[in-house]
Amino acid sequence: MNDKHPLIHWIQRLSPAQLLLILYFIAIIISTAILSFPIVYQDDKMVPFIDIVFTAVSALTVTGLSTISVAETYNTTGLVVLIVIMHLGAVGVMAVSTSIWLLLGKRIGLAERRLIMQDQNQTSFGGMVSLIKQIIYIILGVELITVLILGTYYLRYFSDVKEAYFQGLFTTITAMSNAGFSLDPNSLAIYSHDYFVQLVVMFLIIFGAIGFPVIIEVKHYIMKRKKKKRQFRFSLFTKVTTTTFFLLIFIGTFIIYLIDRNGYFADKTSVEGVFYALFQSVTTRSAGLSTMDINLLSETNHLFMSLLMFIGASPSSAGGGIRTTTFALVIIFIITYARGGKSIKLFNREIYEEDLLKAVTVTMMALILVFTALLLITYVEPHPFMALLVEITSAFGTVGLSLGITNELTTFSKVLLMVLMFIGRVGVVTFLFSFRKSVPDDTNISYPKERMIIG
């Protein structure tokens, strides 16, 4: 006799992807509810409900697009709440839940491990709890160090000690989580000539965007003894991720500078120009912080940065987009096919067909999503096409860069951007897997094959 509650029975029938999406929806609802309390706002501040929801989604998806001025709207309590939400979005709902379960002494069962695997975009159950522990320890350790460094350094900018260290805390969290929120309306423009702050912030952005498995692997390598370091072998994922990630940064820096060398960078020194371009290239990975007004760049640069934002960060990171490994596999597949190759080989390893199919599917689905959103938003908005394209790719890549039109958008467009932010954060794969149904396996059934004319 089945005496289970209907709700429990329904939950058990959900796939990990479906349950994960529901957990993120619940997190958004709770975040919206907390940000609705008057206690988080400065005196006499009133925010429309749609903007409260937008801020909650933007913080949880660590995007940074905002329809309000964070510093002028929230008091200290509100900013602390925002920091907590950004933290939750950065490490993932399941990572935070797992940490709480471990603190309470709860055993992490198979169902929980499946959810962690889905949330962290992993391919096996093994070591899920250990992965979460390491992620939390490393993140908290790096944050503590950088808060102390930035807080102390900020004493030259802020006379009040509490203000300096709170600024250091907020900058650390928003950079590490790739959230892109700032306590200054001009983002980090005040530090446009302070290369120490920029280097620290860029380190945090890369730390949050390159992928937690990569960071853990690097940590294992560093902790090995010299003799064992020679025998240490990095995984294919780490090799492809780091190679693609840093190539995109360096190529992005070069092209951003090249496009506007006779424009915005014309009256800048070489060091100024390179740092402006480098920071913009790094921030398009998924951060959204900026040391300049990007409106001053050319439309060609806006288009190029939209491409960088569409690619986004690495898998299992705080960023969004199609992810760097997806982009790498698709590009290498095109080159391989053009040369008449039958399979993709990287670093003396062959890529599974399933992973290649997943990469192509993610790219095509993302292009469809972005094109559809662009079609709809250009129909209802009077703003320039390029400004809308930047807004859409920024939302999907969970970046947060904008040409300043976010607060002028209609409710329909805000909802559309929230959907893109949500999909960009949870990942296109998880989003697609949520539509899968538990049906009998019919893979053994085969049909006659027939050729199709392509191209």
Distant-in-sequence, close-in-space partners of 276: CB < 8 Å, separation ≥ 6: 192, 257, 264, 265, 268, 291, 292
- pTM for the structure as a whole: 0.89
Report pLDDT digits (tens) over 182-198. 998 889 999 999 999 99
Assess if residue 6 is contained within a domain. no
Assess if residue 29 is contained within a domain. yes
Distant-in-sequence, close-in-space partners of 202: CB < 8 Å, separation ≥ 6: 278, 279, 282
CB 98 within 8 Å of CB 108: yes
Rounded distance between C-alpha atoms, residue 241 and residue 346, angstroms: 12
End-to-end CA distance of the chain, in Å? 58
Count of domains observed in the chain: 1
Assess if residue 173 is contained within a domain. yes
Assess if residue 2 is contained within a domain. no
Report pLDDT digits (tens) over 80-139. 999 999 988 887 765 665 555 555 555 655 555 655 555 555 555 555 667 777 888 888
Assess if residue 47 is contained within a domain. yes
Distant-in-sequence, close-in-space partners of 332: CB < 8 Å, separation ≥ 6: 344, 346
CB 212 within 8 Å of CB 313: no
Distant-in-sequence, close-in-space partners of 415: CB < 8 Å, separation ≥ 6: 50
Range of the domain at 151: 13-433
Amino acid at 191: Y
Assess if residue 446 is contained within a domain. no
Assess if residue 443 is contained within a domain. no
pLDDT of residue 1: 44
In this structure, is the dihedral angle defined by the CA atoms of residues 166, 168, 170 and 176, taken in order, positive or negative? negative
Assess if residue 60 is contained within a domain. yes
Angle at 18 between CA 33 and CA 13, to 5 degrees: 115
Rounded distance between C-alpha atoms, residue 385 and residue 378, angstroms: 7
Report pLDDT digits (tens) over 282-335. 999 888 899 999 999 999 999 999 999 999 999 888 888 999 999 999 999 999
Note down pLDDT in tens along the chain; length 455 residues: 455 556 565 666 666 677 778 888 888 999 999 999 999 999 888 899 999 999 999 999 989 899 999 989 999 999 999 999 998 888 776 566 555 555 555 565 555 565 555 555 555 555 566 777 788 888 889 999 999 999 999 999 998 999 999 999 999 999 999 888 999 888 999 999 999 999 999 999 999 999 888 888 888 888 876 666 667 788 888 999 999 999 999 999 999 999 999 999 999 999 999 999 999 999 998 888 999 999 999 999 999 999 999 999 998 888 889 999 999 999 999 998 888 887 888 888 888 888 888 899 999 999 999 999 999 999 999 999 999 999 999 999 999 999 999 999 999 999 999 999 999 888 888 788 777 665 545 556 777 878 787 77
3-class SS of residue 126 = coil
